Each structure stands twice: as C-alpha cells, then as structure tokens.
Amino acid sequence: MTSAAPRSGWSEHWQKEKAPPRRQPLSRERIVEAALRIVDAEGMDALSMRRVGQELGTGAASLYAHVGSKEELVELVLDLAYTEIELERPDPATWQEQVKRLLRRSRQVLLSHRDLARAAVVANVPVTPHAMDIAEAMLGMLRAGGLDEQTAAYGVDLLGLYTTATAFEASTRGGGNSEEFTERIRSYFDTVPTDRYPMITSMAVALTRNVGDERFEFGLDILVAGLARQSGTVG
C-alpha cells in the first residue's frame, strides 16, 4: 500500500515555518540603542564598536557605514539619553524654578544610565540635536528671566558644567556619597594633625555630609539666585 502524496503546498509551508527569522537591517538608530543598552548594563568602559557589533550579531566593520567613529557613537548615545528629558516653554513668572527642574531632570537622566555622565563632561558644548534642544530651552528660560545675552550665555555654560560634574562625581561613587566612601574620608581626616588643619578636623562631619540631593540642591540654589541678581529679579 502506497502512502498518500503530500498535499500541494505542504512542503513550502513547512520550509517557511522552519526558516530562521530575518535579521533586521543595520541602522544608526539600532546601533545607538544597542550602545546605550551596553552602557546601562556594563558601563562606559565596556562600550566599543566591537562590543556593539557583538550585541547586534555583526562585525565592527559593518557599523562604520552608519557611525564614523567611537567618539561619534558616544555623542549619539548621550543624545539618545537626552531625549528622556522633558522640556518646558519659558515662563517669565517661574523661570527660576523652571531652570532648577530642567537641571534636576538632566542630572537624574545621566545618573539613570550608569556612568554616562563621563561623556557629558567631555561633550559640554551642545552639538547634537537633543543636547541643543536642552540648551535652547534653558537659554529661553534665562532670557525670559531678564538676563542679557552674554549673562545668559555664561549662565547656561555654568549651569551645564555644574550639573554634569555633580552627576559624574555621583556616578563614580555609585550614585552619591556612599556610606563606605564617607567613612573612608572621615577616617582619613581623623589621622591628619589638628594643629595644622584645625578647621578640617573639627568640621569633618559637615564636610562629608550629603543627605540625598541636599548638596546638589544647595549649589543649584546659589547659582540660580546669583543669576537672578544679575537680572534684578531676586525671589
């Protein structure tokens, strides 16, 4: 007894079912997203063209058709992270609080991506689209507050440096002044001669204090208040 012949199209259907999924084509967007995942999981030191190629199942050489260098990749990764920062339209009545909110968001986004703040410190001048969006928004707030062009220009630079520097410092300590780091510094202060460093040794607790974002907020208040005085809109 002979077996029945397979139904027409059955073989083709089976081949389709067994065929491996088609690989998504490479694009700049996929490369940058993969790079940010690597930073989030492993940190900036792990980021390389080769590592991104491994993440995407391809060789490093194929990435260069979309991204010219690792330096460009780092800029693009930072710009992708900046898309997470919510921007507001400048309001002359509340510009000081708007500036503070923007800087808090910027710092928090950097801290949420492991040690990405390292890249932000290096790339302080905004040259990528979303970094420029943030600078544009902040300049608008400062100008809405009555600052002249040069003061606003210096101000946006100063505020950006402060935010990225504090984020970088916090990222190197696992998110801030950890207890271990604080105790190590205090223990060191206990060993220095009090006659030579009377202020440091007597103020060791105050010098190493960092409750939550208290230290960052202190600096933020000082900087924004100083800028407000330049425009005569203190308060």
Per-residue pLDDT, averaged over 188-209, amounts to: 93
For residue 123, the model assigns a pLDDT of 80
**High-pLDDT (> 90) share of the chain, %:** 73
Write out the residue range of the structural domain in which residue 33 sits.
Answer: 22-81
Confidence of residue 183 (pLDDT cuts 50, 70, 90): confident
Chosen domain end from 81, 98, 117 = 81
Domain edge (last residue) among 81, 97, 121: 81
Q: In this model, does residue 47 exceed pLDDT 80?
A: yes
CA angle, 188 as apex, 182 and 192 as ends, to 5°? 145
Q: Which two tokens stand for residue 163?
A: 């935010």
Task: Tell me the per-residue pLDDT of 104-142, one tens digit each, with 9 for 90 and over.
Answer: 999 999 999 999 999 999 887 788 999 999 999 999 999
In a domain, 14, yes or no: no
* pLDDT band at residue 15 under the 50/70/90 scheme: low
Question: For position 189, which CATH number holds?
Answer: 1.10.357.10
Domain match, 136 and 207 both: yes
pLDDT, tens digit (0-9, with 9 covering 90-100), for 87-109: 999 999 999 999 999 999 999 99
Question: Which tens digit of pLDDT belongs to each residue from 163-181?
Answer: 999 999 988 875 545 677 7
For position 180, what pLDDT does the model report?
78
**Residues whose CB falls within 8 Å of the CB of residue 64, separated by 6 or more in sequence, listed in order:** 49
pLDDT for 14 equals 44
User: What pLDDT sits at residue 116?
Assistant: 96
Where residue 55 sits, what CATH number does that domain have?
1.10.10.60
Q: Residue 199: is it exposed, middle or buried by C-beta count within 10 angstroms (0-12/13-18/19+)?
A: exposed
Instruction: Please report the sign of the dihedral spanned by the C-alpha atoms of residue 101, residue 104, residue 107, residue 112.
Output: negative
Summary mean pLDDT of the chain? 88
Distance CA 165, CA 228 (A): 22
Single out the residue in 58, 81, 104 at which a domain terminates: 81
Number of domains forming the structure of the chain: 2
Which pLDDT tens digit goes with each residue over 48-86? 999 999 999 999 999 999 999 999 999 999 999 999 999
User: Quick one: pLDDT at residue 5?
Assistant: 52
pLDDT band with cut points at 50, 70 and 90 for residue 38: very high
pLDDT of residue 42: 96
